[in-house]
Amino acid sequence: MPTRRLDDRIRELCAKAGAAADVQHPDHGHLESILQQLLGAIHEKVERIRVLAAKKLLPPADPEEETPQKDRRAG
């Protein structure tokens, strides 16, 4: 799902949560469900930002550094 859609979903869930909390006799089960969805969407957004930041800030992995070197003491 593209980022824009996720942002829109987060906004929509915030609006739903606010509306559900503003009613005179809120259905706590419904509000809890909305908040769980919102929490999941926020976690997804944070993970996407974390991946983007890592791509921008960390240098590309050097394939030669990832392979363990042989023990040169053997002999």
Break the chain into its structural domains and give their ranges: 3-58
pLDDT, tens digit, 9 for 90 and up, residues 16-60 = 999 998 888 878 899 999 999 999 999 999 999 999 999 999 987
pTM (2 d.p.): 0.69
* 34 burial level (CB within 10 Å; 0-12, 13-18, 19+): buried
